[in-house]
Amino acid sequence: MPDLEKELNPMQAAAARTVDGPVLILAGAGSGKTRTLIYRIANMLEQGIDPWNIMAITFTNKAAKEMRDRVRDMMKTDADRIWVSTFHSTCLRIMFKFAEYLGYTSSFEIADTSDQKSILKDIYKDLNVDRKMYPEKRVLNAISHAKDELIGPEEYEKENKGDYSKEMLIRFYKEYQSRLKKNNSMDFDDLIMNTVTLFKENKEALEYYQERFKYIMVDEYQDTNTAQFELVRLLAGKYKNLCVVGDDDQSIYRFRGANIHNILNFEKTYPEARVIKLEENYRSTSNILEAANSVIRNNTQRKAKSLWTENPAGALIHFKQLDTAIGEASYIADEIREKVSRGGRKYGDFAVLIRTNVQSKELEDAFRVRGIEYDLVKGLRFWDTKVIKDLTAYMMTVADGRNDIRTLRVINTPSRGIGAASVEKCVVFSTANGYSLLETTGIAERVPTMNSKAVNAMHGFYDLIAGIRENMASKSLSGVLEEIIEKTGYMDWLEEKSENEEKFFEATEYINKLKETLDIYEEETEEPSLVDFMRVNGIEGNNLDKVGDGDETDKVLIMTMHNAKGLEFPNVYMAGVEEGLFPGFATMTSDDEFAMEEERRLCYVAITRAREELSITCARQRMINGETRYSNPSRFIREIPIGLLDMKVTPVKRSYDDAPKASSRQIARSAFNAAPSAFSSGFKKRSLAESAKAPDYGVGDRVLHFKFGEGTVKDIVNGGRDYEVTVDFDNSGTKKMFAGFAKLKKL
């Protein structure tokens, strides 16, 4: 039997002993949260509580399995009688029992992503709606967000009636939900929303599960959304033996619907709740913890706590500001290689944390050049992203044209009226007659049963490639890329397909990095060749860009800070910690007063991933949108006491979050030197002296925005590279935006 006093620290033991009534366990990073929960369950079983009456909700199946296995190992009991599962698994089991009450049959099905897209495809067709105006991701995200907030189609219509920008989304939601029900299907969001509806409408069902689950525990409570909060509140409503575990300082998933107020307001919901803080950290050195504490104290939306440890002070936080992003990546790669060569470290001991996947390009190149094994965790490698695969396929088709796989990828990208059936006919013909697919498109009239429209489309593709190839001799490699983008209309097509400005911006950043890489290759190579460039970078099917064989764990890990949550490493590098990147420009200019606090929580999470050594790097200049932008070290670095850093930076002198919005925008402009410029299909770099094209509307004009609807232009300011426009929207309030991004249409 577990000895709580000997095997846990005093606060952990208090949390494990407190079984009755509502309990909030604030578990700081590395404070032994999972161990405490296991001992708490073991203590409940030892007290004679029936496993049947215990419920533990986790966010992943892996965490649920780990909890069951560890309880079984400790107590030598049948842990399977404890209901340990995720929110969705829990609701699925409940729905199987009570689905008929809500108008479904007991054999209802779960609609996965492909099912959702199939339903939307039919809706687009039936409503005669252009999916370019309402991309499916935008529609599905809107529906999912509504369900997270327990807002059904009818209520959604009432709340948004009169909002021009939501009229079509209302129709989509109603049609989507109707077709799901008609097909006896629920999507994953329905599982939770329908279970809440069941409990509110069916007292018998609610009482059954309240009696079943007399003791409830919820892990990672800071990540719960409104629907999950209400589900837990209803289940615990009778006995109120509810224990929630989490850390508000690690709430970083608001973009997924997480509501930090669930944990911040727990004591308002349950005034009799006992709050227990786990603040002793077993993971990191005291210097790392002091740095983390110093940063997170600048937030106002948090419960007061401070991590501490009995571990040694350890090394100072290594801070290094490099001239360029390429230099930053080289510095990190060289440092890691040197530490491994000195002995005592392996590559698997290192993690490089980045704010966005776009940053991985320079790091990947630096590691590959040095022969360092690495893996990009839960993200696409630079060369595997769709936009890069598309454009490199075009470049290989232009340069060589013998690889049918490349040609197949781009033959109808962007769409040029070439159907799958016509492509298949060409493939069969080329295989039978020894031609490449590209060659066949040039003689498409010889392909049996090919109609004249398809022949013309094939000839158009062939002429496009041949024309670009003809101009190759007089162009640089990046010039060839620019011509491909311009003549195919790729940027316009990409903008139409992107569900929001951020995604479009990210995609264009990938293209900029490809262009920059081409320029560097051409400068450093005596006889540059497009085909050789592709082979060097692993595009032609060799293993240079694949995860290495052998020990899969002995690799440097590159991952976003979001993906690093829950993990820990002996050595951590935080890269790109500079104003405009982390925090990002959108956060710095946001009207949301708490957007910066979420970024700071993300910084806190990143810092506390390090056990022994933490290095923070940034670049003075970085290519953003094809232009060199100059940045200062992030405010988050300047919130760390100077004495904890091995390189001095100017400390923060005031709270940025308390500054007026005008100051925030000025900071953003200073960090970037200018607002982001508009993207053009030609994708050409704009000189510093060149001004953006003036919009075709003026102050007082009525305009239309794809998201905010109609409004009146109140102000236009020339920012050099783009115009900042202030618009008073009829239903969305006053917004400031850049003309190049906003794509406002004059009415």
Q: Tell me the C-alpha distance between 15 and 712, whole Å.
A: 57
Closest CA to 698 of 726, 679, 676, 674: 726
How far, in Å, CA of 359 to CA of 265, rounded? Answer: 37
Are residues 311 and 287 in contact, defined by beta-carbon separation less than 8 angstroms? no
Nearest to 175 by CA among 156, 150, 158: 156
Identify the bridge partners of residue 709 per DSSP, sorted by sequence position: 705
Is residue 360 helix, strand or coil? helix
* Token pair belonging to 321: 């500001």
CA distance 362 to 669: 25
245 pairs with which residues across the strands? 25
Instruction: Single out the residue of 520, 575, 544, 518 nearest to residue 373, CA to CA.
Output: 544
What's the alpha-carbon Rg for the chain, to the nearest Å? Answer: 29
674 contacts 583 by C-beta, under 8 angstroms: no
Cα separations (Å) of 581 from 96, 587, 629, 630, 721?
Answer: 46, 9, 11, 11, 19
Residue 122 has phi, psi (to 5 degrees) of: -70, -35
Q: In 248-385, where does DSSP find H-type helix?
A: 261-264, 266-269, 286-296, 325-341, 360-369
19 near 180, Cβ under 8 Å? no
CA–CA distance, 575 with 558 (Å, rounded to integer): 10
Are 706 and 133 contacting, i.e. CB atoms less than 8 angstroms apart? Answer: yes
Structure tokens at 465: 């490639």
Residues 6+ apart with CB under 8 A from 253: 223, 562
Catalytic amino acids? 33-34, 219-220, 250, 609
H or E, element range at 544: none
Tokens 């595997």, residue located: 384
| Spatial distance between the Cα atoms of 155 and 697, rounded to a whole number of angstroms | 37
Q: Which residues of 695-720 are buried (b: 16+ CB within 10 A; e: fewer)?
A: bebeeebebbbeebbbbbbeebeebb
Residues 6+ apart with CB under 8 A from 537: 383, 517, 544, 545
Tell me the H-state helices in 489-559: 490-497, 501-524, 530-536
DSSP result, 281-296: -SSS-HHHHHHHHHHH
Main-chain phi, psi angles of 595, to 5 degrees: -60, -40
245, 217 contact by CB (below 8 A): yes
Structural contact between residues 620 and 614, judged by C-beta atoms closer than 8 angstroms: no
Alpha-carbon distance of 717 to 712, in angstroms, equals 15
Exposed / middle / buried, residue 388 (Cβ in 10 Å: 0-12, 13-18, 19+): buried
Q: What is the dihedral of CA 383, 385, 387, 393, to 10 degrees?
A: 50
Contacts of 702 (CB under 8 A, 6+ apart): 710, 711, 712, 713, 746, 747
- Say how far apart CA 488 and CA 493 lie, in whole Å: 9
